Chain A
């Protein structure tokens, strides 16, 4: 089961969306980078499933940070992504998505830099 955090803002016009989109992209990149730092890296698979995206549709602009889905670097995904984030009755939680969100500040809207490539490469 994949895990996902969405930040959603209502937008009135397409022009406003175009104006907001770069800032939301920078915010998503900042959260993505923080999640990459904190995600458990026993095998790096979970790390490699981290994805961020910004989309505009139906009057909404949505920044998404997700983990667990299949990606190019981890084609089978990590179906345990949500279990790692929230823990189970037999395993303590090792949160990596919510901390990335909780550490958000207004400076993220000016964040420079892209998320690292898979397995810590640059």
Chain B
């Protein structure tokens, strides 16, 4: 049976295929093995409850997802998180929204049905989040993702 796509998976697929992240660099939670993503940073995706539900066109999904761009200190035990790396990841997301091809299909993970992303846009500017408990650098973005399943 084909699994149905959901908003977090579609957003993650869009980030990999349009913003140029690797598939191992985007997930719904931050991997505990920091060394695995220390060099390149990491991106997490979480759908916000809410968004707009269309009564007349329920196939049209319009969620807002929270995209967090993370960067750890250069070395284990380091005190200075790589703010520039986190900022670069966030800017890559923003740049991808500017250069997007509207209505283009994204490739979903194996076993999932397809999805077509109609539009992706920032609802607020990327913003720096300070005082993380683990000392990571983080920029967060609220991203509206309009999509339909195909």
Contact = CB atoms under 8 A, between A and B. Distances in A.
Interface of A: 1, 38, 86-90, 92-93, 95, 98-103
A89 B132 contact: yes
Contacts, number: 42
Interface size class of B (residues with CB under 8 A): 20 to 34
A86 B132 CA distance: 11
B142 interface: yes
Given A86-B129, A98-B142, A102-B64, A92 B29 contact: yes
A101 B133 CA distance: 27
Given A88-B134, A102-B50, 19 more contacts: A1-B131, A38-B49, A86-B129, A86-B140, A87-B68, A88-B132, A89-B30, A89-B70, A89-B132, A89-B133, A89-B138, A92-B29, A93-B46, A95-B48, A95-B66, A99-B48, A101-B50, A102-B48, A102-B52
B146 to A, nearest CB: 14
Interface in B122-150: 129, 131-134, 136, 138, 140, 142
Nearest to A105: B52
Nearest to B64: A102
B24 interface: no
